[in-house]
Amino acid sequence: MKLTTEQIERLYEFTRQHFVEWYDLQTEFVDHLANSIETQWAENPKIAFEDALKIEFKKFGVFGFMDVVDNRKIALNKKYNKIVWKHFKAFFTIPKGIATFSLMFVFYFTLMYLNDLAGLLINTLLILVLVSFWIATIFQRMKNNKQEKITGKKWLFHQIISGYSTFLALSYLPTQIMMRVDYESGLSVFKAVFFSVLIVSLYLLEYIIIFEIPSKAEQYLKETYPEYELI
């Protein structure tokens, strides 16, 4: 015995009632619940739909769907981080690597030339990367929210790509550097090399997170969710 269209809609409603707001995760739970209920009916055709649903939901434990949702978030964040890392590594291979290392060298010689003023330049660039990162993230979220209102559906991986990811923790690093690094003793060769690599890398990551990956969001979403293209 198969579930009716109304019963499938009831399962979607049930997942929303239990705080699963993303359509992709709702669909996963609905597929699982539907298959389990149909299995119950194969063994006992007289059991009511709602009773079968309660039996299956109890199997998820005290926290219901939350443990599965948390695990899915972790998995998708790891997927996103791998995508960022793939794009980042591309800037250190030919031909992009030539421009990347050239920029680092230029920044290194600039810091050595500035000497006592190097700290001011470093802090200014760190502040700029922080401010621009958060402003761009806010605009990206607003764009994502607008799209969700149009489609009526939220996709977890889309939200991660739109700035809800663990890479927001990246903003913690510049803050700590500005608070802890002492420039009064002068800028050594080691510090100049370190900051040249760090500043360029931070701006590359910002470009990748804010522009490059979102520009390919449709591609990554279709790879993750085959049904996304149909929606």
In this structure, of 85-89, 99-103, 145-149, 223-227, the range with the lowest mean pLDDT score is: 223-227
Token pair listed for 120: 């001011």
Q: Is 9 a residue whose pLDDT tops 90?
A: yes
User: Are 88 and 170 spatial neighbours (Cβ–Cβ below 8 Å)?
Assistant: no
N-term to C-term CA, the chain: 28
Q: What is the pLDDT of residues 196-220, one digit of tens each?
A: 998 999 899 889 988 888 888 888 8
Residue 228: CB partners within 8 Å, gap ≥ 6? 155, 221, 222
Where on the phi/psi map is residue 153: left (φ > 0), alpha (ψ -120 to 50), or beta? beta
What is the reported pTM?
Answer: 0.81
Q: What is the pLDDT of residues 161-192, one digit of tens each?
A: 876 555 556 666 676 776 666 666 667 888 88
DSSP state of 216: T
| Arithmetic mean of pLDDT, 73-101 | 91
